[in-house]
Amino acid sequence: MSTPAGLPGGLTRFRINLAYDGTDFVGWAKQPGLRTVQGELLSALNTIFGPSTDDFGMRVAGRTDAGVHAGFQVCHIDITEDQLVRLGRAPFSASRLDGLLPEDVAIIEILEAPNGFDARFSATGRTYHFGIADPACKPDPKQARYVLSVSRQLDETLMDAAGKSLVGLRDFGAFCKPRQSATTIRELRELSVLREQDGRILVTLSADAFCHNMVRSIVGALIAVGEGKLSIAELGEITQAAKRTSRFKVVDPRGLSLDDVQYPEDDQLAAQAEKARNLRSDEDISV
């Protein structure tokens, strides 16, 4: 196996693509005594590779908050030669890791990472979906864990127009929890709202990265627009002011799912990681 550039000798980096139902987790990030996705993953990795003092150097593309789901999440781990020996003849396969995990976490694929790959810093974009059920939606208990129910009927066309008005490179301070020495400038590349065949409203958001609470805060604003409580012009003023407001809420995470992470071509991975590391290394990127 080749050693990715920039990795200390003897380390092999693996990319893990996974999915989870966030309902019964307090979030991605490991917390002592609490059920987290990372915690479950580390415990399964311990079984395969033996103990690790640095949590296998795990880093994740999107550090999801409590209750947030993932249809497609990416993390990486660095495995030492000693740990690799523990594998024996059995490969480090998706099905082997998956078999050690509870039902609400699933391993989609495990790949040896290309040179320069970093699950968090090489990522050039993240795509989230947010599902909403209003009274126009056919009730579906199988969806109850994955959509936010609202009691008023929403105007999805108005919401879509409001969403489009937010697209671009701008300061999203109106939608972010402020943190010292962290920029709230992001490039929102797509924000579309449509009503699906079953009546559910699906919000799709793509950006280079999102700051803390940004998706749930934008969805709160779109719901206020869809209810007729906030005009697109008012939303424009609030966005312009780039300060938090009480005109809309940070909505419940139940409808939120990280469903894609974008990476550049292999020869751009290291350069992108370098760029992002300088820009965001001390930021909170949980969503």
Active-site residue set: 65
- Shorter beta-carbon distance to a copy of itself: residue 37 or 209: 37
Say if residues 129 and 45 touch (Cβ distance below 8 Å): no
Residues 202, 131 contacting (CB under 8 angstroms): yes
Nearer to a copy of itself, 235 or 251 (CB): 251
Which residue of 59, 145, 189, 275 would you call a contact of a copy of itself, by CB under 8 A? Answer: 145
Burial of 282 (0-12, 13-18, 19+ CB in 10 A): exposed
Question: Distance between CA atoms of 99 and 75, rounded to whole angstroms?
Answer: 18
Task: Give how many residues touch a copy of itself by CB under 8 A.
Answer: 22
Q: What are phi and psi of 109, to 5 degrees?
A: -165, 145
The reply on whether position 146 binds a copy of itself by CB under 8 A is yes
20 binds a copy of itself (CB under 8 A): yes
Is residue 81 classed exposed, middle or buried when 0-12, 13-18 and 19+ CB atoms within 10 A define those classes?
exposed
Check residue 108 for interaction with a copy of itself (CB under 8 A): yes
Taking CB under 8 A as the criterion, the residue among 13, 69, 76, 120 binding a copy of itself is 69
Q: How far is the CB of 250 from a copy of itself (least distance, A)?
A: 22
Q: Check binding of 140 to a copy of itself (CB under 8 A).
A: yes
**Shortest distance, position 139 Cβ to a copy of itself, whole Å:** 3
Outline where DSSP puts E strands in the chain. 12-20, 59-60, 69-79, 105-112, 125-133, 148-149, 168-171, 185-195, 201-207, 256-262
Q: Is 100 in the site for a copy of itself (CB under 8 A)?
A: no
Q: Is 106 in the site for a copy of itself (CB under 8 A)?
A: yes
Task: Count CA atoms within 13 Å of residue 106 on its CB side.
Answer: 10
Is residue 255 involved in binding a copy of itself (CB under 8 A)?
no
**Is residue 104 involved in binding a copy of itself (CB under 8 A)?**
yes
Instruction: Give every CB contact of residue 109 below 8 A, 6+ residues apart in sequence.
Output: 16, 17, 94
CB of 257 to a copy of itself, least distance (A): 8
Least distance to a copy of itself, CB of residue 276, Å:
28
Q: Which residues bind a copy of itself (CB under 8 A)?
A: 19-21, 69, 71, 95, 98, 103-108, 135, 138-142, 144-146
